[in-house]
Amino acid sequence: MDLLHSPLHDRHVALGAKFAEFGGWNMPLEFAGGGVLAEHAAVRNAVGLFDVSHLGKALVRGAGAAAFVDSCLTNDLGRIQPGKAQYTLCCDDDGGTIDDLIVYLRGEFEVFLVPNAANTAAVVERLRAAAPDGIEVTDQHREHAVLAIQGTLSDEVLTALDLPVDHEYMSFADGKIAGQELTVCRTGYTGERGYELIVRSEGALDVWDALIEAGEPHGIRACGLGARDTLRTEMGYPLHGHELSAEISPVMARAGWAVGWDKPSFWGKDALAQQRAEKTVPTIRGLLAQGRGIPRPGMTVVADDGGAELGEVTSGTFSPSLRQGIGLALLDRSVEDGSTVLVDVRGRQEAFIVTKPPFVEPKTREE
């Protein structure tokens, strides 16, 4: 299969990027001159710039578009006003997660969606099949680029370019860089204060160059998806295919806060309500290494006496912030926070403490 390229691919090549396949796209994993650790530190201590143009984009437009989307996806769009964004999930009838995505509510008649790269076609197809006459669902995956500027100094970079920075978390505003109109969304996937800029693909190079230039006095660093993964794992943020999947529901992922339980309907409501009431399904938990072990997806988690199997690691990494191994795991509900479990790390039984993420204090909502 031929991999898709970001509109910024040539810039990444020039910066010595190491590439990897992600959701059918050839995206930068890390850049020369530092790698994942340096890029991770830039976001936690200064500012980093990510190309996340592989993320999906879709537009739902027409009379009653917002109400239609609300009847399909889990979260309650009635909780927000136009100009705000919302995390939500697209579920199957059995409660399995087709995708998690961000909804940008532009108005009653227009909703913009940002699904994950590999799941965009499935989300669009499902919405199209359910859409009544008068509502159009358009796949705009290739029409827009998405640049994420994340970190403690992200405001300073955007301010230097006269872009808005004073809007609330999970809201968006219009802006312009180098003649390119864009949407400035106060969202991100790192746990730091930051923004995601949505721009037409043909304007992405101008926006990237302007951000790099404005960020130089603040120590900006181009960052790849490797650092994005260590940053999101420290926050305990789920990644579809790991903490969410056709087999892992929002209830199992402890994402019930993103479900509008009182809504009359949404895809998978009955199955999710049953899981919520019965409280028997396994759930996603955090793992904090007590030694030098680093958990990886697929590793088995057992009781501290080496006996009963309790679950499986879904994500794991070395935390650059904590300097120790951390992970997320789907564990039996009987496992209590604070208890010790063992993970089979390459044939060695390594001890981990079960905990509730995040592992690092989030700063997304700081004013």
Q: How confident is the model at residue 201 (pLDDT cuts 50, 70, 90)?
A: very high
State the alpha helices, DSSP H only, in the chain.
Answer: 9-14, 35-45, 65-72, 120-130, 154-160, 204-215, 225-235, 269-278
Q: Check: CB of residue 136 under 8 Å from CB of residue 64.
A: no
- Write down the pTM of the prediction: 0.97
For tokens 């009987």, what's the residue?
A: 334
Grouping H, G, I as helix, E, B as strand and the rest as coil, residue 50 is strand
For tokens 């509109």, what's the residue?
A: 7
249-293, pLDDT tens digit by residue?
A: 999 999 999 999 999 999 999 999 999 999 999 999 999 999 999
Q: How far apart are CA 6 and CA 21, in angstroms?
A: 12
- Residue 328, pLDDT score: 98
pLDDT over 80 at 192, yes or no? yes
54-109, pLDDT tens digit by residue?
A: 999 999 999 999 999 999 999 999 999 999 999 999 999 999 999 999 999 999 99
Query: Percent of the chain, pLDDT > 90?
Result: 97
Q: How many CB atoms lie within 10 A of CB 166?
A: 9
Domains, the chain, ranges and CATH? Answer: 4-56+143-235 (3.30.1360.120), 58-139 (3.30.70.1400), 282-355 (2.40.30.110)
Query: Percent of the chain, pLDDT > 70?
Result: 100
- Residue 307, pLDDT score: 86
pLDDT over 80 at 139, yes or no? yes
pLDDT over 90 at 306, yes or no? no
Span 303-314, mean pLDDT?
94
Q: How confident is the model at residue 195 (pLDDT cuts 50, 70, 90)?
A: very high
- Residue 366, pLDDT score: 81
Q: Check: CB of residue 67 under 8 Å from CB of residue 252.
A: no
Q: Check: CB of residue 350 under 8 Å from CB of residue 291.
A: yes
- Residue 135, pLDDT score: 98
- Residue 26, pLDDT score: 98
Kindly report the backbone phi and psi dihedral angles of residue 283, in degrees, each rounded to the nearest multiple of 5, phi listed first. -135, 155
Grouping H, G, I as helix, E, B as strand and the rest as coil, residue 103 is strand
pLDDT over 90 at 149, yes or no? yes
pLDDT over 90 at 1, yes or no? no
Q: How far apart are CA 349 and CA 345, in angstroms?
A: 6
Q: How far apart are CA 302 and CA 107, in angstroms?
A: 49
- Residue 74, pLDDT score: 98
